[in-house]
Structure 1
Amino acid sequence: MATKSFPPRLHILIARDSPQAIVIRRGPARKTCILGWDRSRHTFTVGQWLKGRIYERRSDISPDGKHWIYFAMNGKWTSETGGCWTAIARTPYLKALDLAGQSSTYYGRGLFIDNRMIWEMGSGEYLQKSGLFHQGDPDFITHSYGTGCPSVYYPRLERDGWYLRSTTINEKKHQGVLFEKELPEGWKLIKVCHTGNSAEGQGVYWDEHLLISKDGTIQTFPDWEWAEWADESIYYAAQGCLFQIKLIDERQWSESVCLHDFHPYQFEARPAPY
């Protein structure tokens, strides 16, 4: 029997103070590719591949786009890292500058407060420390979201201009945790964050999105697995591709432009250049 294939799953970390971004491309399930995205030119550069899982919702990119922090698992439970680790690396690579290992997927995580200050570094002891980064307490964390992926993902959304909102929109109740971002021309982008009950080919944590115009009209986009407002655009990922749309006025948006198709990539061992 042939194995059913699915499009690569995409999650993107956008630097707040530079045109850089990290694309986390997962697929097949046990292989993950990290790519750098220069948003000023829309060029994409492969960094490194991992034979394992990167927890994209527990990862982050520095405001200047030069470093990122990620939580990963390769299941090598007798290794030095214990099979899971949190690391800080140069973008878009995996080679750790700072490294903390642990033997389970609980608590591994991290967020940038600024370019050199981080919140958390997993729950294990440091195996390697560069001295470039130090830990602090961010003022943007206003709620506790447990120890799983929402513990980092939801504060990251709030830091980046998303607001936790009611699950009722125009008298219709939506299932999930809803975050809202206000856009120009009276538009609102809604991110509906789900846990469990996902379709085949999706993970335990998954998102869908809504666009609400100034007059309250709702457009639903259940196939957008990731979306963000940046560079006066809505960027979104669907079916293994990255798209861009522009808002024209309070009722219209432009045709979608496909910026990149992430299907063709195949695993290759690549060293980091540092």
Structure 2
Amino acid sequence: MTISAPPCRLYVLVATAAPAALIMRRGPSGWWHLLEWDLRAREVSSGAWLRGTLYPRRCDLSPDGKLLGYFALGHGQHPWDTYFAVSKTPWLTALVAWHASGTWTGGCEFAADNSLKISASIDEQPFHGRYPYSATVEDLTLDWTYRDLQNEYKRGWRPLEGRTERLPPALREAVLIGRVQPGGERALVLAHTGTDFQGHGIEGVQVSYLREEDDGNLTPLPEAAWADWDSEGRLLMATREGSVKIVERRSGTWAETWSHDLRDLTPAPTPPPSWARAW
């Protein structure tokens, strides 16, 4: 009897001021892989492999998509055991790093000028490298649901209230947020139903997605592990089976116009290019 390997897990960070995204892929267990997603050219290129743990919901992409602020749990000695760092996408070479006091952390956020805000129990001064922009450390947030959804809030998602009768019964008690399609009127809805580290979810967070249709009804997107609109109003999606997709409105229907399969990848670490090793 053949036992198939579990599917990889995907999460995506989307730049707010450029047609760029970063795919964070987990799999096989204990390995993470970063891939750069050029939304204009519709191309995916490989970057760093890490044997350790990344926390994508606590990471952020700079507005132009060129810098990654990330939180990692590594296998190194102190202070490389738990740390926040900034690297050049799609690599993880830390150009600056702050030690964190364990995994009890919030997240980080870039401003338009690349200044960085970190919410965590960390040292205020970096132990490695320097940051050429400003960086501030704030008190750790204790609102864990907000932490789970902070990347969505950065991209314009907002709490959704009322009209829960449109939702499947299992989702009516969930934490709901929504985002209207840029240049359109349809909304994408995310339902946060809690945390289950045995389930399929990044950092154990259980989410379901639904797409609003012309008649106001909500269509569940059960294949979506992650979804969001891009600046052109296209639906970006990472599936539970391990692919990324672009879905667009064509002739009155939603059509998949591009996809890239990320399932069958094996760890193949390579040294970062020289441009990724220095400011």
Q: Given the two structures, how large is their TM-score scaled by the length of structure 2?
A: 0.84
Q: What is the aligned partner in structure 2 of residue 81 from structure 1?
A: 79
Q: What is the aligned partner in structure 2 of residue 141 from structure 1?
A: none
Instruction: Summarize the Cα distance change of 1:212–1:43 in structure 2 as closer, same or farther, 3 Å threshold.
Output: same
**Structure with more of its chain in strand, by fraction:** 2
Note the C-alpha offset of 1:123: 2.5
Q: What is the aligned partner in structure 2 of residue 60 from structure 1?
A: 60
Deviations 1:115-162 (A, max 9, x none): 421111642222124231213599xxxxx96264x4544333222111
CA distance in 2: counterparts of 1:6 and 1:122, whole angstroms: 32
Deviations 1:149-197 (A, max 9, x none): x454433322211111127523656232211111254311101123224
Instruction: Summarize the Cα distance change of 1:176–1:129 in structure 2 as closer, same or farther, 3 Å threshold.
Output: farther
- Equivalent residues of 1:23, 1:36 under 8 A apart: yes
Note the C-alpha offset of 1:221: 1.3
CA distance in 1: counterparts of 2:120 and 2:199, whole angstroms: 30
Deviations 1:86-139 (A, max 9, x none): 11101110001110123411115311122421111642222124231213599x
Instruction: Summarize the Cα distance change of 1:36–1:115 in structure 2 as closer, same or farther, 3 Å threshold.
Output: farther
Q: What is the aligned partner in structure 2 of residue 35 from structure 1?
A: 35
Amino acid at match of 1:159: K
1:270 matches 2:265: no
Q: CA RMSD in A?
A: 2.6
CA distance in 1: counterparts of 2:58 and 2:157, whole angstroms: 17
Instruction: Summarize the Cα distance change of 1:171–1:220 in structure 2 as closer, same or farther, 3 Å threshold.
Output: closer
Q: What SS is found at the alignment partner of 2:105?
A: coil
CA distance in 2: counterparts of 1:95 and 1:185, whole angstroms: 39
Note the C-alpha offset of 1:69: 0.4
CA distance in 2: counterparts of 1:205 and 1:112, whole angstroms: 23
Q: How does 1:1-274 map to 2 (within 5 A)?
A: 5-76=5-76, 79-81=77-79, 83-107=81-105, 109-120=107-118, 122-125=120-123, 126-135=126-135, 146=142, 148=144, 150-166=145-161, 168-170=163-165, 172=167, 174-183=172-181, 184-197=183-196, 200-203=199-202, 204-230=204-230, 231-238=232-239, 239-248=241-250, 252-273=252-273, 274=277
Note the C-alpha offset of 1:46: 1.1
- Equivalent residues of 1:54, 1:72 under 8 A apart: yes
Deviations 1:175-232 (A, max 9, x none): 3221111125431110112322476443521321011223221211122110010032
- Equivalent residues of 2:34, 2:48 under 8 A apart: yes
Amino acid at match of 1:146: L
- Equivalent residues of 1:111, 1:152 under 8 A apart: no
CA distance in 2: counterparts of 1:98 and 1:176, whole angstroms: 38
Q: Work out which structure has the larger RCO, using CA pairs closer than 8 Å and 6 or more positions apart in sequence.
A: 2
Q: Given the two structures, how large is their TM-score scaled by the length of structure 1?
A: 0.86
Amino acid at match of 1:194: T
Q: What SS is found at the alignment partner of 2:151?
A: helix
Deviations 1:11-48 (A, max 9, x none): 11111111221110011121000111111111111111
- Equivalent residues of 2:18, 2:65 under 8 A apart: yes
Range that drifts further, 235-244 or 178-187: 178-187
